[in-house]
Amino acid sequence: MLRLALLSSGNMLDCLVSDPNGPLLYKGWYHLFYQYNPYGAVWGNIVWGHAVSRDLIHWRHLPIAMVPDHWYDINGVWTGSATVLEDGQLVMLYTGSTNESVQVQNLAYPADPVDPLLVDWVKYSGNPVLVPPPGVEVKDFRDPTTAWLTPEGMWRIAIGSKVNKTGISLMYDTKDFKTFKLLDGVLRGVPGTGMWECVDFYPVSKIMENGLDTSVNGPGVKHVMKTSLDDDRNDYYALGSYDSDAGIWTPDDPKIDVGIGLRYDYGIFYASKTFYDKEKNRRILWGWIKETDSEKADIQKGWSSLQAIPRTILFDKKTGSNILQWPVKEVERLRLKKNVFDKVEVKAGSVVRLDVCSTSDQLDIAAEFEVDQEALSSLEGTEMTYSCSSSATRGALGPFGLLVLADDALSEQTPVYFYISKDTQGNFKTFFCADHSRSSEATDVDKRIYGSTVPVLKGEKLSMRILVDHSIVESFAQGGRTCITSRIYPTKAIYEDAKIFLFNNATNAGITASLQIWQMSPAYAH
């Protein structure tokens, strides 16, 4: 596979992986810790798995980093974050579930800071360092963020919680990560969003093409506030301004506040976490891809869940209203044979097969689409709405795109596509979607249709990049403005029987597609 499918410390069967934890770069090695059940393919017995890499692509399994062995984490070593201090020291805060199932925050640090692989970890003897404050339920207090420096020289963290149905992010200041002060108010709270977990908070530059250290702030900076909503299991974010002195984050647009507006990914993607790569000046996002088949099927196959390809994050300076997510550059090292298709015409209502190689189940696809201009200009507006309904539904300007992981007969296929609509005021709206309804002949799997709108600026061609990796498809539209991760279970469109097609289900408009398609090498784990 292109990714590390089972971050399992060497045991390739009977395991579950979930939330990425404490990602960081330390002494030349990328580290990923993760929620891990080494004894079964379902939730339970949660420890911290650990893997390292030089390039974010080829990984080495290491021994389990932390296990539930104290009263304060005996029911699970849950999600946490790493902070590298100004003098280079590394500390890790994580949530433990106590012997009474109370969620508390604990401190851990490397047993040997000289060891670049960070094999051994020590838990602070004074744990827990934080317990739920008054007014917060004992099971609603989890997932500390990476810390950032305040103007007063304190380290500040945020922790997810809720009060009734209002999701909130609590804030604490500390000097030594052993004693903490709860701040008045919250970093942000949004009514009706429920429990906030796996909160993340970080700056993005409005000027540079680089990522920023977590503590950076100033006039050329926006701050991303992100939460994973326990109620619907999706990751939401919003852009806004952070007042360091007041400790308040304010969204740019309250109508798309945290939990009610933009999502990192409109598919199967959850519990994500970022870190700052200081060597390459970039912010990298990790996300968990959960299973969408039955628990019985997971037990039968002996494993469940995996990690998405790591992504870089930048502020979208062209729109000013969203971030851009893009697979890390290192993925391109896996590219093998390249196929180029230039200006392929796809008439309305037609399907065109693309002969790329003997197998099409591991591909990196870059595609651009041009829509017939006469059809665009002649389209009449309508009050009808489109919300990523079936790819078989035909409209004047779509859907059109690619059928990946498809068999010759098209009995199995995963369409990834655009659809263009026009309202009665003459405004165009472009949707980017992935249709799972025909992705598998299995009966116990999710077959919904995923997607959302994607901003398209005047003069831009429609573009998408798709990473196909056996049973995972990660799709990025318009440079990463909208992303969709598909977790599918093909039974026929596998290995040499997996094919790729262009399709155009529009009733009026022809399209012209130009593509570059690379077959990909697996990223073997050690």
Integer angstrom CA distances of residue 241 from 55, 119, 203: 33, 38, 9
Give the tokens for residue 146: 């990476």
Q: 28: Cβ–Cβ under 8 A, 6 or more apart, which residues?
A: 54, 116, 279
Assess whether pLDDT exceeds 60 at residue 8: no
Give the tokens for residue 31: 């580290």
Q: What are phi and psi of 256, to 5 degrees?
A: -125, 50
pLDDT at 12: 43
Catalytic one of 19, 73, 293, 361: 19
pLDDT at 426: 79
Q: Quote the CA–CA distance of 221 and 203 in Å, as a whole number.
A: 6
The sign of the torsion formed by the CA atoms of 502, 506, 508, 511 equals: negative
Consecutive H or E run containing 434: strand 428-435
Q: What are phi and psi of 496, to 5 degrees?
A: -70, -10
pLDDT at 13: 52
Assess whether pLDDT exceeds 80 at residue 524: no
Q: How far is CA 326 from the centre of its chain?
A: 10
Q: What percent of the chain has pLDDT over 70?
A: 96
Over residues 406-426, the mean pLDDT reads: 92
Give the tokens for residue 480: 């990463």
Assess whether pLDDT exceeds 70 at residue 306: yes
pLDDT at 384: 66
Among 60-74, 186-200, 236-250, 416-430, the minimum mean pLDDT is found in 416-430
Beta strands in 27-100 (DSSP E): 29-37, 47-53, 59-61, 77-84, 90-97
Assess whether pLDDT exceeds 90 at residue 143: yes
SS3 297: helix
pLDDT at 377: 82
Over residues 26-36, the mean pLDDT reads: 97
Assess whether pLDDT exceeds 80 at residue 359: no
Over residues 367-371, the mean pLDDT reads: 97
pLDDT at 5: 45
Assess whether pLDDT exceeds 60 at residue 7: no
Give tens-digit pLDDT for 160-178: 999 999 999 999 999 999 9
Q: Quote the CA–CA distance of 417 and 501 in Å, as a whole number.
A: 12
Q: Quote the CA–CA distance of 201 and 223 in Å, as a whole number.
A: 7
Mean pLDDT of the chain: 94
Give tens-digit pLDDT for 238-265: 999 999 988 899 999 999 999 999 999 9
pLDDT at 270: 98
Among 53-57, 275-279, 317-321, 392-396, the minimum mean pLDDT is found in 392-396
What's the pLDDT band for 186 if we cut at 50, 70, 90? very high
Assess whether pLDDT exceeds 80 at residue 197: yes
Over residues 480-504, the mean pLDDT reads: 96
Q: Quote the CA–CA distance of 36 and 290 in Å, as a whole number.
A: 13
Assess whether pLDDT exceeds 70 at residue 495: yes
What's the pLDDT band for 6 if we cut at 50, 70, 90? very low
What's the pLDDT band for 1 if we cut at 50, 70, 90? low
Mark whether 19 is an active-site residue. yes
**Looking at residue 320, what DSSP letter applies?**
S
Give tens-digit pLDDT for 428-457: 899 999 999 999 999 999 999 999 999 999
Tallying the residues shown for the chain, one arrives at 526
The residue among 523 and 163 whose pLDDT is bigger is 163
* Domains of the chain as residue ranges with CATH: 15-327 (2.115.10.20), 335-520 (2.60.120.560)
Q: Quote the CA–CA distance of 194 and 187 in Å, as a whole number.
A: 16
pLDDT at 208: 94
Q: Using alpha carbons only, what angle is made at residue 375 by residues 369 and 380, rounded to the nearest 5 degrees?
A: 125
pLDDT at 378: 83
Q: Using alpha carbons only, what angle is made at residue 295 by residues 292 and 296, rounded to the nearest 5 degrees?
A: 125
Over residues 356-381, the mean pLDDT reads: 88
Over residues 421-429, the mean pLDDT reads: 84
Amino acid at 252: D
Give tens-digit pLDDT for 211-234: 999 999 999 999 999 999 999 999
